Amino acid sequence: MAQPKRRWSKARTHLKRSTWKLENKNLVECPHCHKLIMQHRICPSCGYYDGTEVIAKKAE
C-alpha cells in the first residue's frame, strides 16, 4: 500500500480535527403555534409549514 511521504504537523492535525465537533440543532419558532421546531420541517404540533396546513391535526 501507498505510504505518506512525510508526517503531518500537529497544527495541521488539529485543524483537520476541529471540524469533528457536534453542532447544536438550529431551532426556530413556529409562526403558527410559536413552539420551537427544526428549520424547514412541518411543525409536529400544529401541522403547518410555510403558512399552509400540510397535515390536518385533530382538535383535542
List pLDDT tens digits, range 46-58. Answer: 999 988 889 887 7
Dihedral (Cα; 50, 53, 56, 58), 10-degree rounding: 90
pLDDT of residue 38 exceeding 90, the answer is: yes
The enclosing H or E element of 27 equals: strand 27-29
Residue 45 resides in a domain: yes
Q: How far apart are CA 41 and CA 35, in angstroms?
A: 13
Residue 11 resides in a domain: no
Residue 50 resides in a domain: yes
Number of domains in the chain: 1
Residue 48 resides in a domain: yes
List pLDDT tens digits, range 3-21. Answer: 889 999 999 988 888 888 8
Residue 57 resides in a domain: yes
Predicted confidence at residue 60, as pLDDT, reads 57
Domain around 57: 24-60
**DSSP for residue 53:** E
Predicted confidence at residue 7, as pLDDT, reads 92
Which residue has better confidence, 23 or 33?
Answer: 33
